[in-house]
């Protein structure tokens, strides 16, 4: 870590020397201006360590800043800077993806009724799955009820329910529980789909309004 800091400082010094040489070659005189840890302003004809540590400016004899050199970043600051840059890149990528998806949606559904028809078809498929799951659940519940009735009749005669019947009841209870869980999951997915479709429709209407406004503006501009 210390080696990297030293190398970074050397790079700054070399760059500053190059700038200084260029300005001097042009007939100018440079001074270094910087603020220390307490905010006090300093000037110097040579580059002191504090100027490199806190960052500085190169000022010519007219008081014009020729170059600004920021102080070296700490490892934590570099990490934060890299994280911020990565977040910025990710946000830009998400914006591009969202714009592409919006364009594709408008192309796929030229009119609102096209989107509504697609949403209706999607719900219809989900409803068919729900209906099938409900029928399966009722069938399994009837099977469980039959087994329980059979076991109750045996117990009514003060006999022990055979193990195979008890095992069948346990298995059937598990099947019924599984079917109920599947039905609840399908119902939750349908509710989530309805919410998602409502948000999609609202977003589509906003995009459509923007598109129509842009088309109208372009038409007006072309007519002038």
Asked: is 110-219 a CATH 3.30.70 domain? The reply is: no
**pLDDT higher than threshold 90 for residue 14:** no
Note if the pTM is more than 0.75.
Answer: no
CA pair distance 36, 55, nearest whole angstrom: 9
Around Cβ 189, how many Cβ atoms within 10 Å? 13
Please say whether the beta carbons of 74 and 60 come within 8 A: no
Quickly state the pLDDT bin for 71 (edges 50, 70, 90). Answer: confident
CB under 8 Å to 176, separation ≥6 — which residues?
137, 140, 141, 144
Distance CA 132, CA 139 (A): 11
CB 205 within 8 A of CB 112: yes
* Averaged pLDDT for residues 191-213: 96
Q: How far apart are CA 117 and CA 140, in angstroms?
A: 35
Which residue would you say has higher pLDDT here, 11 or 35?
Answer: 35
Which neighbouring-strand residues pair with 57?
Answer: 33, 68
How much is the pLDDT for 148?
A: 95
What pLDDT is recorded for position 215? Answer: 87
Position 23 pLDDT exceeds 60: no
User: Distance (Å, rounded) from C-alpha 79 to C-alpha 82?
Assistant: 5
Instruction: Name residue 60's beta-bridge partners.
Output: 30
Tally of CB atoms within 10 A around 130: 17
Residue 63 has pLDDT above 50, yes or no: yes
Spans of all domains in the chain: 2-69, 74-108, 110-219
Is the pLDDT confidence value at 223 over 70? Answer: no
pLDDT at 1: 44
């Amino acid at each position: 870590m210390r080696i990297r800091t030293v190398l970074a400082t050397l790079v700054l010094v070399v760059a500053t020397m190059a700038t200084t040489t260029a300005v001097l070659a042009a007939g100018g005189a440079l001074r270094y201006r910087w603020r220390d840890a307490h905010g006090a302003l300093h000037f110097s004809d040579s580059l002191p360590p504090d100027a490199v540590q806190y960052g500085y400016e190169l000022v010519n004899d007219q008081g014009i800043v020729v170059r600004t050199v920021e102080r070296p970043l700490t490892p934590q600051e570099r990490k934060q800077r890299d994280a911020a840059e990565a977040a910025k890149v990710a946000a830009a990528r998400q914006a591009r993806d969202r714009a592409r998806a919006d364009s594709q949606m408008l192309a796929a559904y030229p009119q609102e009724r096209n989107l509504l028809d697609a949403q209706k078809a999607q719900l219809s498929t989900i409803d068919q799955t729900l209906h099938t799951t409900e029928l399966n659940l009722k069938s399994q519940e009837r099977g469980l009820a039959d087994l329980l009735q059979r076991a109750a009749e045996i117990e009514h005669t003060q006999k022990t329910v055979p193990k195979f019947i008890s095992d069948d009841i346990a298995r059937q209870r598990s099947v019924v529980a599984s079917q109920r869980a599947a039905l609840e999951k399908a119902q939750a997915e349908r509710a989530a789909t309805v919410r998602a479709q409502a948000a999609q429709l609202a977003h589509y209407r906003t995009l459509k309004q923007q598109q129509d406004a842009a088309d109208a503006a372009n038409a007006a501009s072309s007519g002038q």
